[in-house]
Structure 1
């Protein structure tokens, strides 16, 4: 049952990520017009091509870096899946693993198709202008990682 929950969570996250990128970047032509104000300043669409990891860290832009990031992401997905399956996790941990894996695979597909990750979400608030863009996959990777930490539930051994 646990593997199914993890699989379906990952599947729906992956699908939501790829559908949102297609809708916003291609169908709404964000790649051409570069900027769409949705609910300024809280939510805007800004076109971004991320060759690094979150917030452009390790942004080398080289083909070697691209393939290293693809490999690293796949290793993390496999490691999380194996770890969660072996630890007999609660449902929230299985769900969290699926969120992380689905989001990571969404960004892997971008790197394979485009050579970079498509980013388009930009949020600012309270007079602070946020220069960074991210995508739906990034939200789920973060939520999944946080869930794995919060719901890990390993029992503490007495001292």
Structure 2
């Protein structure tokens, strides 16, 4: 029983077995997301081009989202954007602590790295341009999905990974 207590006492909320993998994934996610946004805004100049048809179901367009998912909780002021940045930072810290406090596994580390990296990538946009830069517009048969970015894809992929992991359970 003392061994179990020592293991619990020695757990770290900031660094664990899976922290290096999660950190690599989150840094790669931020780098790819920010490189894509830099290219779209500063090199390609999507703002001046308007809507660019890539395929019959995919367009590139610039949308600055001043809210969260689906433009909920729109925050037009700088203070509002700072509040959303603070929320992203707190959520990211909470997810990081969860990864390092739990026993975790590879899928959890990758999933949380994707979610945290995506959240930080979008928070950087809020500080840089006053909202999240979205570019990818999927549509078919008159239905238009919301416009999204690489960080959003990472967050969704991470959530799917966590959901899969939760259904797999402890038996693996």
1:32 correspondence with 2:44: no
Residue 25 of structure 1 deviates from its aligned partner by 2.3
Instruction: Kindly name which structure, 1 or 2, has the bigger radius of gyration based on alpha carbons.
Output: 2
Alignment of 1:45-60 (within 5 A): 45-60=60-75
Instruction: Report the counterpart of residue 91 of structure 2 in structure 1.
Output: 76
Classify 1:86/1:154 alpha carbon distance in 2 versus 1 (closer, same or farther; 3 Å): farther
Can you give the 5+ residue segments of structure 2 that lack an aligned partner in the other structure? 1-16
How many correspondences in the alignment? 154
Q: Secondary structure at the match of 1:48?
A: strand
Do 1:25 and 1:120's aligned partners in 2 also have CA atoms closer than 8 Å?
A: no
Alignment of 1:4-153 (within 5 A): 4-40=20-56, 42-125=57-140, 127-130=141-144, 132-152=146-166
Q: Secondary structure at the match of 2:91?
A: helix
Can you give the 5+ residue segments of structure 1 that lack an aligned partner in the other structure? none
Q: Secondary structure at the match of 1:75?
A: helix
Over 3 Å off, 4+ runs: 152-156
Classify 1:131/1:155 alpha carbon distance in 2 versus 1 (closer, same or farther; 3 Å): closer
Do 1:50 and 1:56's aligned partners in 2 also have CA atoms closer than 8 Å?
A: yes
Give the Cα separation in 2 of the matches to 1:145 and 1:76: 14
Instruction: Report the counterpart of residue 4 of structure 2 in structure 1.
Output: none
Give the Cα separation in 1 of the matches to 2:149 and 2:94: 23
Give the Cα separation in 1 of the matches to 2:137 and 2:103: 37
Instruction: Report the counterpart of residue 18 of structure 2 in structure 1.
Output: 2
TM-score, normalised via structure 1 length: 0.90
Residue 155 of structure 1 deviates from its aligned partner by 3.9
Q: Secondary structure at the match of 1:59?
A: coil
